[in-house]
């Protein structure tokens, strides 16, 4: 071998070594880990916390916390400080300097303090504004504010080699703790109806494991390097793609699930990424394996493959998705993931019950949800102390803690008007207020009696309500995938793709993943079709380029984008009236860089829904699919049409209600009478008035005849 060849090989080997040794680096603002934009610590001592995830497959090399914070000008610098703790261990302290009220400090985090799982970052402050004398424990000058938008966490890490155990799928490979997002490639043999339906089931189950973490799916006929891959197809396809060991499954009716390291295309493997193979001889056997993978939640099995002989589910009920409570049922706080909790000290943090209500509840105005709270409190509380009950951010009432010697209260009743609740996610918070008025710090040093405890056997009851809602409301789709999640497994739901192109299929997989994450249940029963589903009696999700959409569907849509079509423009009139709509007939189009999400009544079945995602090109359709995964976009989608300017990463959304309204009930249908009474309330009132007048006239006529007969009878009697 020549010297040049040896040098080239050595150089390539060095490049490979450098590439292998290169660590990944991710930098994110702390705001990405919470819904808050800032944290504020008040009083002489205060604490705020963040939960930071660390995936188990990461081997962290370096971590740096860049903290931007502002302190009050009146705190004493030599007596005030902030301590940063990770999982209870202090890692850094910094003085709160009144001469430099807005500060930025970099903190090197010892990597040994970051454990796989969720790590608690505590920010503890001690603050004083007086020296050598007593001060108010919660004076208005005692505050420190940490900007989460301007503070960042930078982590440098390597990926660990993956163990070849199928049980690791649940918590290691598809891990919700990965950030900022995850990517998975699905390998399919072709883009026919069966292959894409099986890919959708697999994608749904994978997305569920990432919880609310964004995951993007791609499809291909070959392995994609640098990410985890899932092959879904026949044994022949698996063998031909080099993704199988060539051994057939046990029988023609048996499916096989296998895990291996990702082949790198050069005869070796990438042991940092996984290849999952879902295969079988028949489509039915492959479907059983896909459903098995989608339902796996245990660190089992510990082997690298399993043979699947069957799959079944226990009975599931409608409206039984993630954290959804059932009306007319009592839930204790422990069931709602709130164990017994004690508020202690001068400045305790609140606790919150989080739950979801069915998206189509007809929430009535004259009903009440009921809290029954078991609580106790200490003797150190002064009159005026209490616990504020806050519903969806709105203060409702205060529970007074006014017994001088403390007390135990069994079943404190709080009635909550149901109009304070909303479809989807709801919260009930308990915020303590310990009255320190009149106390100096010297008197408040002993805080042993400053406590209040709410017990886990406290209960919440939500009254019975009908499932009846006026649509279109695309915001309900953004909330929890309604109406496709009426049945949590996607029963009576179909995905219709007018074209069998990669952009439509990848967008469909991403949207199916989003729906699954919203509801927390794999879409086992969802179907995929490429021909127009005429006569379909269920809900319909349509995804495709504007030019590919059937005229029958577009004629019912609130806006048209091809040919000569109706295009409405909302015109605002004022605060006291709805926006007027101007309807125009024009020939135009979406153009590049704009996507649309629309909701309207199905053209195939009254009371059912079509949700349509469309854009001008396949490239824009892919960006639209990415945009609807963004929580900020989801929060701004309302009405029946949302136009999304595809200007990643900040998308502009214009929402409007310009189409016809319709109603639907608990089974996805609405009777003619229900719809008429809801949509034509004034006609209903008129009919009631006519009925009353008619009954009055009949009554008058009857009484008149009765009186005439009686008078005639009296006249016939002899005098």
Q: Are 303 and 166 in contact (CB under 8 A)?
A: yes
Task: Give the rounded percent of residues in the chain with a pLDDT score beyond 70.
Answer: 89
- Right CATH for 166-308 from 1.10.1660.10, 3.30.379.10, 3.40.640.10, 1.10.287.610: 3.30.379.10
How large is the average pLDDT for residues 624-632? 94
Q: What is the dihedral of CA 131, 134, 136, 139, to 10 degrees?
A: -10
Question: In 10 A of CB 267, how many CB atoms?
Answer: 6
Fold: same for 166-308 and 329-462: no
User: Read out DSSP for 284-310?
Assistant: HHHHHHHHHHHH--SS---SSEEEE--
pLDDT, residue 321, reads 83
- Give residue-wise pLDDT tens across range 136-169: 777 888 899 999 999 999 999 999 999 999 998 8
pLDDT, residue 562, reads 84
The rounded mean pLDDT for the chain is 87
Q: How far is CA 391 from the centre of its chain?
A: 19
Q: Are 390 and 429 in contact (CB under 8 A)?
A: yes
* Strand-strand pairing, 38-42 and 143-147: antiparallel
- 19-159: which CATH architecture? Sandwich (2.60)
Instruction: Name, in order, each residue with C-beta under 8 angstroms of 248's C-beta and a sequence gap of 6 or more.
Output: 235, 281
Q: Are 187 and 231 in contact (CB under 8 A)?
A: yes
Domain ranges of the chain: 19-159, 166-308, 329-462, 469-675, 680-711
CA distances from 102 to 7, 73, 93, 145 (A): 55, 10, 16, 9
The CA distance from 464 to 361, in Å, is 9
How large is the average pLDDT for residues 367-385? 89
The CA distance from 40 to 336, in Å, is 27
Task: Give the rounded percent of residues in the chain with a pLDDT score beyond 90.
Answer: 60
Q: Is 28 exposed, middle or buried (0-12, 13-18, 19+ CB in 10 A)?
A: middle
The CA distance from 675 to 469, in Å, is 10
469-675, which class in CATH?
alpha beta
φ and ψ at residue 435, rounded to 5 degrees: -70, 120
Q: Are 107 and 151 in contact (CB under 8 A)?
A: no
Nearest 5°: the CA angle 522, 526, 532 is 155
The CA distance from 246 to 276, in Å, is 15
- Give residue-wise pLDDT tens across range 535-567: 999 999 999 999 999 999 999 999 988 888 888
Instruction: Please name which of 641, 638, 541, 631 lies closest in space to residue 594, comparing C-alpha atoms.
Output: 641
- Give residue-wise pLDDT tens across range 220-271: 999 999 999 999 999 889 888 766 555 555 566 789 999 999 999 888 999 9
Q: What pTM was estimated for this model as a whole?
A: 0.84
102: its two tokens: 């807005």
Instruction: Please name which of 580, 583, 370, 573 lies closest in space to residue 464, comparing C-alpha atoms.
Output: 370
Give the CATH number of domain 329-462: 2.60.120.260
- Give residue-wise pLDDT tens across range 167-203: 988 789 999 999 999 999 999 999 999 999 999 999 9
Question: What is the b/e burial string over 509-547, where b = at least 16 CB atoms within 10 angstroms of the residue's CB?
Answer: bbbbbbbbbbbbbbbbbbbbbbeebeebebbbbbbbbbe
Question: What is the b/e burial string over 424-460, where b = at least 16 CB atoms within 10 angstroms of the residue's CB?
Answer: bebebbbbbbbebeebebeebeeeeebbbebbbebbb
Q: Are 551 and 518 in contact (CB under 8 A)?
A: no
How large is the average pLDDT for residues 574-583? 69
φ and ψ at residue 588, rounded to 5 degrees: -155, -155
The CA distance from 388 to 429, in Å, is 8
């Amino acid at each position: 071998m020549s010297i040049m060849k040896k040098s080239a090989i050595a150089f390539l080997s060095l490049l490979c070594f450098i590439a292998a040794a290169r660590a990944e680096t991710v930098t994110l603002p702390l705001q990405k880990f919470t819904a808050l934009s800032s944290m504020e610590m008040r009083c002489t001592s205060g604490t705020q916390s963040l939960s930071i995830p660390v995936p188990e497959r990461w081997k962290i090399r370096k971590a740096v916390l860049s903290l931007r914070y502002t302190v009050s000008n009146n705190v004493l610098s030599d007596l005030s400080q902030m301590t940063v703790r990770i999982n209870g261990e202090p890692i850094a302290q910094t003085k709160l300097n009144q001469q430099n009220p807005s500060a930025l400090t970099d903190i090197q985090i010892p990597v040994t303090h970051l454990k796989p799982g969720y790590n608690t970052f505590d920010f503890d402050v001690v603050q004083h504004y007086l020296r050598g004398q007593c001060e108010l424990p919660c004076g208005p000058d005692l505050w420190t504010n940490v900007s989460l938008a301007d503070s960042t966490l930078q982590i440098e890490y390597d990926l660990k080699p993956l163990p070849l155990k199928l049980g690791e799928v649940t918590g290691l490979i598809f891990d919700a703790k990965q950030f900022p997002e995850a990517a998975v490639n699905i390998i399919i043999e072709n883009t026919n109806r069966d292959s894409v339906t099986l890919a959708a089931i697999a994608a749904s189950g994978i997305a569920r494991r990432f919880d609310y973490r964004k995951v993007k799916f791609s499809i291909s006929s070959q392995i994609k390097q640098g990410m985890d891959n899932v092959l879904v197809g026949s044994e022949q396809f698996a063998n031909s793609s080099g993704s199988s060991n060539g051994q057939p499954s046990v029988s023609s009716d048996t499916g096989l699930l296998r895990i291996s390291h990702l082949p790198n295309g050069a005869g070796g493997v990438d042991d940092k990424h996984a290849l999952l193979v879902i295969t079988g001889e028949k489509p039915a056997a492959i479907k059983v394996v896909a459903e098995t993978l989608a339902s796996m939640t245990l660190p089992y099995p510990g082997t690298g493959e399993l043979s699947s002989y069957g799959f079944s589910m226990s009975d599931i009920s409608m409206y039984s998705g993630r954290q959804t409570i059932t009306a007319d049922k009592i839930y204790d706080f422990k069931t709602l993931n709130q164990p017994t909790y004690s508020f202690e000290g001068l400045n305790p943090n609140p606790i919150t019950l989080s739950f979801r209500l069915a998206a189509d509840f007809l929430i009535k105005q004259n009903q009440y949800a009921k809290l029954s709270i078991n609580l106790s409190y200490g003797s150190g509380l002064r009159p005026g102390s209490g616990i504020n009950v806050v519903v969806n951010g709105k203060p409702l009432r205060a529970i007074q803690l006014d017994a001088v010697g403390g007390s135990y209260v069994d079943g404190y009743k709080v009635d909550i008007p149901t109009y304070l609740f909303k479809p989807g996610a709801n919260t009930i918070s308990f915020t303590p207020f310990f009255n320190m008025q009149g106390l100096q710090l010297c008197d408040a040093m002993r805080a042993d009696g400053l406590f209040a405890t709410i017990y886990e056997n406290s209960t919440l009851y939500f009254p019975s309500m009908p499932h009846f809602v006026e649509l279109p409301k695309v915001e309900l789709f953004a909330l929890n995938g309604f109406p496709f999640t009426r049945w949590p497994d996607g029963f009576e739901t179909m995905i219709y793709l007018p074209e069998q192109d990669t952009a439509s299929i990848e967008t469909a997989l991403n949207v199916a993943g989003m729906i699954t994450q919203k509801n927390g249940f794999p879409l086992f029963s969802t179907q995929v079709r490429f021909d127009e589903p005429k006569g379909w009696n269920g809900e319909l999700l349509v995804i495709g380029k504007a030019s590919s959409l059937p005229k029958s569907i577009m004629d019912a849509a609130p806006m048209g984008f091809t040919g000569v079509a109706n295009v409405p423009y909302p015109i605002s009139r004022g605060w006291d009236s709805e926006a007027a709509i101007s309807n125009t007939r024009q020939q135009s189009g979406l153009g590049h860089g704009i996507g649309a999400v629309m909701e309207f009544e199905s053209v195939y079945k009254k009371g059912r829904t079509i949700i349509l995602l469309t854009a001008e090109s396949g490239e824009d359709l892919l960006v639209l699919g990415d945009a609807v995964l963004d929580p900020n976009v989801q929060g701004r989608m309302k009405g029946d049409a949302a136009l999304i300017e595809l200007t990643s990463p900040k998308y502009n959304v214009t929402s409007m209600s310009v189409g016809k309204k319709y109603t639907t009930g608990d089974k996805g249908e609405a009777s003619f009478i229900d719809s008429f009474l809801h949509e034509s309330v004034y006609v209903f009132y008129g009919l009631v008035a006519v009925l009353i007048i008619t009954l009055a006239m009949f009554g008058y006529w009857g009484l008149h005849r009765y009186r005439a007969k009686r008078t005639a009878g009296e006249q016939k009697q002899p005098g």
